[in-house]
């Protein structure tokens, strides 16, 4: 009887309300504008720490970002380079929605190598390089992102920090004896920031490092340390690239282990970080990087607006859909 009574008075089972994923309008990224920002850096000349070009470029980056970001931090620091000299460095951080707790980092280094020590002509080894791809390309993409975010706000609950690291490329030169080379002589700006962030008790959800992201026909495999330490971030970015039709370039293969800024962000700051870096994967080459890495030919001639456009598109899609 109780069973029948319950059946007779049974109310319809409520159904869960349908949830609709919010529609996010991702603003257009301009490869032409990113190229302008790459060229503007190179026009100062090699941005070697201690040089006039380095000083002028730092002022230009800071002033430009001040016109776009909510807050710009300039982190002056000192670091000991491979030959025991102490040099001045300057990390520059452009913050959007600085009060948001959930933060995403996009980073690159803005200094350039003082030595073209991978040049096929040994006479060029002690010449500084323009660093158009190795440094300026990632910074150019970030500056274009900043320009767009100025007028197309991201979700107020998401904070974006664009970090321009200094003294990344002042590592031990090739002519030193292998036993005397020091891996920790690279990425000095990111080492400093990772131990002493620009904001007390800083934390971020994840980070994306852009390194050598402007050459023609790039090959971005899943860098080894990124896969080992931050696989979920790597999968998020590579899935986005695949959905956008870029899987020919963002290849689903494990790449070489690269000692880069992301290593220190992972181990010192505890931030899951990946490295988007052009790795040619050619066993016959003396280097795994793009052909003009650390040569005097890393210049604007080898920057492709289409590559800047592609990487910029992926970055915008990732951060606006977070």
Q: Are 219 and 241 in contact (CB under 8 A)?
A: no
Question: So what's the pLDDT on residue 283?
Answer: 54
Model-level pTM? Answer: 0.91
Would you call 13 helix, strand, or coil by DSSP?
A: coil
Those residues of the chain that have pLDDT short of 70 are: 1-22, 281-286
158-165 vs 86-96, strand pairing mode: antiparallel
Q: What is the C-alpha separation between 12 and 121, in angstroms, rounded?
A: 81
Question: So what's the pLDDT on residue 282?
Answer: 59
Overall fold of domain 23-320: Aminopeptidase (3.40.630)
Question: So what's the pLDDT on residue 121?
Answer: 97
Total Cβ atoms within 10 A of residue 305: 17
Question: So what's the pLDDT on residue 8?
Answer: 41
Q: Are 272 and 266 in contact (CB under 8 A)?
A: yes
Q: What is the C-alpha separation between 188 and 310, in angstroms, rounded?
A: 29
Q: Are 219 and 279 in contact (CB under 8 A)?
A: yes
Q: Which residues contact 80 (CB under 8 A, 6 or more apart)?
A: 86, 87
Q: What is the C-alpha separation between 251 and 287, in angstroms, rounded?
A: 19
Residue whose pair of structure tokens reads 């000299």 in the numeric block: 85
Question: So what's the pLDDT on residue 285?
Answer: 58
């Amino acid at each position: 009887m109780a069973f029948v009574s319950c059946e007779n008075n049974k109310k319809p089972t409520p159904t869960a309300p349908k949830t609709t994923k919010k529609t996010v309008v991702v603003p257009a990224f301009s490869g032409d504008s990113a190229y302008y920002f790459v060229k503007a850096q190179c026009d100062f000349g090699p941005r070697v720490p201690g040089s006039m070009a380095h000083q002028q470029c730092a002022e230009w980056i800071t002033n430009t970002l001040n016109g776009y970001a909510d807050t710009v931090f300039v982190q002056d620091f000192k670091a000991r380079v491979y030959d025991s000299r102490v040099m001045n460095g300057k990390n520059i951080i452009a913050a959007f929605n600085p009060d948001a707790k959930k933060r995403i980092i996009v980073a690159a280094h803005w200094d350039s190598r003082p030595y073209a020590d991978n040049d096929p002509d040994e006479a060029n080894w002690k010449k500084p390089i323009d660093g158009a791809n190795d440094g300026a390309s990632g910074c150019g993409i970030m500056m274009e992102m900043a320009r767009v975010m100025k007028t197309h706000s991201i979700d107020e609950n998401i904070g974006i920090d664009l970090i321009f690291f200094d003294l990344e490329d002042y590592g031990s030169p090739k002519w030193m004896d292998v036993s005397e080379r020091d891996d920790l002589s690279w990425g000095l700006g990111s080492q400093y920031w990772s131990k002493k962030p620009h904001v007390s008790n800083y934390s971020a959800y994840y980070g994306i490092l852009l390194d050598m992201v402007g050459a023609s026909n790039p090959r971005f495999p899943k860098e080894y340390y990124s896969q080992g330490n931050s696989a979920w971030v790597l999968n998020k970015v590579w899935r986005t690239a695949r959905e956008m039709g870029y899987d020919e370039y963002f290849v689903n293969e494990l790449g070489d282990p690269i000692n880069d800024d992301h290593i220190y962000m992972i181990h010192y700051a505890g931030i899951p970080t990946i490295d988007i870096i052009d790795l040619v994967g050619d066993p016959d080459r003396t280097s795994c990087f793009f052909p003009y890495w650390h040569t005097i030919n890393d210049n604007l001639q080898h920057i492709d607006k289409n590559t800047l456009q592609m990487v910029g598109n992926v970055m915008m899609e990732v951060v606006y859909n977070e």
